[in-house]
Structure 1
Amino acid sequence: MVQTEQHKTSWKLIGPGIVVAATGVGAGDMVATLVAGEKFGYALLWATIIGCIVKISLAEATGRWHLATERTIFDGWRSLGIWTFVFFAPYIVLWGFVYGATAMSATALPMHAMFPQVPFLAWAVLAGVSGLVFVWFNQYAVFEKVITVLVGVMFVTVVGLAVYVGPNIGDAVLGLVPTIPQDSLFNTLGLIGGVGGTITMAAYGFWVNAKGWKNSTWMRMMRFDNRIAYITTGVFVVAMLIVGAELLSATQTELGEGDQALVNLSDVLRERFGGFVATMFLVGFAAAAYTSVLGVWHGVSLMFADFVGNIRGKANRPVEERETSWEFRAYLLWLTFPPMLLLLLGQPVTLIIVYGVLGSAFMPFLAFTLMWLLNSKRTPQQWRNGIVSNVGLTIAGALFLVLCANDIYTRVTGSGG
């Protein structure tokens, strides 16, 4: 299994990292960054940088496991004991049910704001069904190209807006010095942990394999791909922080909470800069939300197919086979149609609490199991964790554990964290 000659890095081959970063950065991350800029100006700029570094270490570890061992993450988890599957089975089922509604709603918001004559529910259903049809009939290569185009739209509109509103360079430089303003602890931790941090982090290894990178000769290229992707994400997130700091904090404008805050921002932009700028922002918002639909519909369905395949004794099937398997398509349907009930009926409080607890527990689960796998004999000696990787994963795991505890506490008690 040991290969020594490495494939050269090439800008033309970049792809899986862009997919995982774009999928992870959705409307919720945009709102969190915007609110951080609104409340604290540039003071938490350093936290966005740390957040990207944390995600680089997590995605690199996931990709390294897949390439070094030529096994999937589920195959690794199974080797740690049945408890990993006992945790993951209810998580992926419940997560898909609630997230499907969340992703469809987030995509519908900007579309309804631009085209109010079409009902909000119709836009939400269209987002889900179009994602289903696209992923059902297209394999990874086409999927990656479409995601890359949407990332380009996100990047140009949001970064362009940040340049347009005009960043305060002096304050931005000061914001690179780590400080925690009063009452900002969990905003800070959330900003570090939330930027692109979801179950899709674990999907990176599957997308790496789908790209055709199947063994350790692709390690250098995978690392290059990963770093470029999260540097791009960092620029995008910093741009959102600049918008929050310059447009909202400076004018003491409050947008409220939830994805609706991004629609409210478009109203602020319309008043200050006119309809064109406001519409361009909504286009960027829609692109960011829809990348999460397509990315989850494809990536998490791949994960589910491999999860069920492991249970059925069909581990490590080729990606092409998983993309057309009944497990893959069953999860696609699960993401699309049952969540429409939540769009119609609202989201039951108990279900949301359980979903939130499982969701906040996944990232520390991922970080610590990767440490376990990559420091053990399951990984070839030359690809095991070094000091830098272990420090990065330890910081990530500890950070997500704190966020998990706070999230569970706030959800169960209903109090602020």
Structure 2
Amino acid sequence: MSSKATPITGTTVPTASRATEPPRTWTGKIRMIGPGIVLAMASVGAGDMVTTLSSSSQFGLGLIWVFVVGLILKFGLTEAIARLQLTGSRTFLSHLTDLGGRFLPAVFLGIVLLVGFFYGSGLTAITTLTMQALIPGLPYWPTFVVIVASAVLLIGIGRYGIVESSMLGFGILMFFGMIWIAIASATVDGAPQAAAETIAPALPAGSFITVLSLIGGVGGAVGIIAYAYWIREKGWNGPQWKSVVRIDTISSYIFIGIFAVAMTVVGTFLLYTTKTSIGGSDAIIPLADSLVPLAGDIGRITYLLCLIAIVYSSILGGFSAIGYLIADGVRVLRRIDDSEADRSMAPSSLPYRLTLVYVLICSLAASTLGEPVALVIVYATVSAFVLPILSIALLLLLNRRTIPTTLRNGWRSNSILGACLALFGFLAIVQVFESFGVTLQ
């Protein structure tokens, strides 16, 4: 495996869409926002909705600060891995070989294969149920197959630009829809009182580990790693792109933050005021009916459309991320040179398309045959260590003297990555205990 930075020779999207020099104006830089939107839409899913709605149903607006802290930490990880990508043509998994050969790339490949096994079934089921709520009488299994197959086909076309454009469309719908729903929910009886009671930041007694878990639950680990591959597809390479990448990542986490706040507001006004709790992912669909007295059928339809946009875009983003990471993992383990990276892991490459077949089959199998309990425990335990390992890797890789000064870690980055290591490392240990049936308070 070559450790030297070589020019990017392959193209996975038309050359005309890959920028060679960054714009100099703020307007031009803002217009280039794209991978950050893909990251945001891939990171926000049904699980995040359940988390924010559940926490706000118990504590109202008092835990908004928790999500803010979580977003700052995840931003630090994303910005750091982006700077690592800007150092040259090497991919993240290629850089990991500097820390112990092919062991860490093999570990990440195994984890991503586990993610791929579980990822699609639950999200596709929620999308299908939401479609049925929107269009009564829609058959479940044909709809399920069409949804997961359409995601695989859209990504399998082989052009990152199509995925980005789709995510932008879903993002616009989600952004304005959720803000409107949050405003509509503010008209519920008791909303002003609930806001006044819970607006102050709170740390409820006996909820320390729960709060830490909420901090760690904002945004997905696989999406953070895949962000380096998405900016690579845009042709952003070199220290001169740092400002563009930073604007792009900031926009991503502002977007996620607005979503988290909007969902917290909805949960506070619709659930906290009525002392209603929320369970699993299925419970977020009937919430649409609560909007009818407030905003009519248009409110219900808007909510369901937003939910479809949120969950389906998570399928798209997740499958895209899994495809890059598995294809690149195979390349690194086969010791294919970095100069061949773009060709070897392009969405049109054989490893990438075999990965899409893999996630399609796994989504269908997990939904029909169920998820093996032992494999679920292994997945939950092993995947909990992704972010601690990522934090350590970025601390080691980005403090080397071989890294250009403008891309090297500063004290702020090291502080955030250190905090990530401490938090996510602790949560990984908690997950290990819980996997063996030991609950920590």
SS in 2 for 1:253: coil
- Within the alignment, does 1:405 sit opposite 2:429 as a pair? yes
C-alpha separation in 2, matches of 1:139 and 1:350:
37
Q: How far apart are the structure 1 equivalents of 2:240 and 2:343?
A: 21
Instruction: Report SS of the residue matched to 2:75.
Output: helix
Shift of 1:385: 0.6
Q: Tell me what 2:9 maps to.
A: none
Paired residue for 1:225? 248
Structure 1 window deviating more from structure 2 (90-99 vs 101-110): it is 101-110
Partner of 1:142: 162
2:216 is matched with 193
Over residues 21-79 of structure 1, what are the superposed CA-to-partner deviations in whole Å (9 max), with x where a residue is unaligned?
11011110111011111111111011111111112111101110000243211011111
Output aligned runs, 1:276-295, within 5 Å: 276-295=298-317
Cα distance in structure 1, aligned partners of 2:335 and 2:63:
47
CA offsets 1:200-258 (integer angstroms, 9 cap, x no match): 11000100111121222111100011101111111111000001111100111223x22
The aligned residue for residue 386 of structure 1 is 410
Instruction: Indicate if the aligned counterparts of 1:6 and 1:219 stay in contact, CA closer than 8 A.
Output: no
Residues 398, 112 of structure 1: alpha-carbon distance in 2 compared, 3 angstrom cutoff:
farther
Name which one, 1 or 2, has greater alpha-carbon Rg. 2
Out of 324, 345, 352, the residue aligned to residue 302 of structure 1 is 324
Task: Give 1:95's aligned residue.
Answer: 115
Q: What does residue range 5-404 of structure 1 map to in structure 2 within 5 Å?
A: 7-8=23-24, 9=26, 10-81=29-100, 82-166=102-186, 178-255=201-278, 257-270=279-292, 273-316=295-338, 317=340, 319=342, 322-404=346-428
Offset, 1:338: 2.5
Once the two structures are aligned, what percentage of the paired residues are identical? Answer: 31
Structure 1 position 196, deviation (Å): 1.2
Determine the C-alpha separation between the residues in 1 that align with 2:289 and 2:246: 40
Aligned amino acid, residue 211 of structure 1: K
**Pair 152,161 (structure 1): closer, same or farther in 2 beyond 3 Å:** same
**In the aligned structure 2, how far is the partner of 1:315 from the partner of 1:191?**
40
User: 1:315 deviation in Å?
Assistant: 4.1
What letter matches 1:32 in structure 2? T
Partners of 1:258 and 1:231 lie apart in 2 by 26
CA distance in 2, matches of 1:219, 1:175: 39
Structure 2 letter corresponding to 1:327: P
Does the CA contact (< 8 Å) of 2:239 and 2:406 recur in 1? no
Q: Distance in 2 between matches of 1:215 and 1:106?
A: 40
What is the alpha-carbon distance in structure 2 between the residues aligned to residue 299 and residue 90 of structure 1? Answer: 14
1:96 positional shift: 0.5
Do 1:110 and 1:285's aligned partners in 2 also have CA atoms closer than 8 Å? yes
- CA contact under 8 A between 1:199 and 1:363: conserved in structure 2? no
Q: CA RMSD in A?
A: 2.4
Structure 2: stretches of 5+ with no match in the other structure: 6-20
Cα shift at 1:293: 0.8
C-alpha distance 347-239 of structure 1, shift in aligned 2 (>3 A): same
Q: CA deviation at 1:172?
A: 6.1
CA contact (8 A) 1:26 1:288 kept: yes
* Structure 1 unpaired stretches of 5+: none
Q: TM-score, normalised by structure 2?
A: 0.88
Q: CA deviation at 1:129?
A: 0.4
- How far apart in 2 are the matches of 1:75 and 1:393? 20
CA contact (8 A) 1:69 1:215 kept: yes
Query: How far apart are residue 357 of structure 1 and its match?
Result: 1.0
Alpha-carbon deviation of 1:131? 0.7
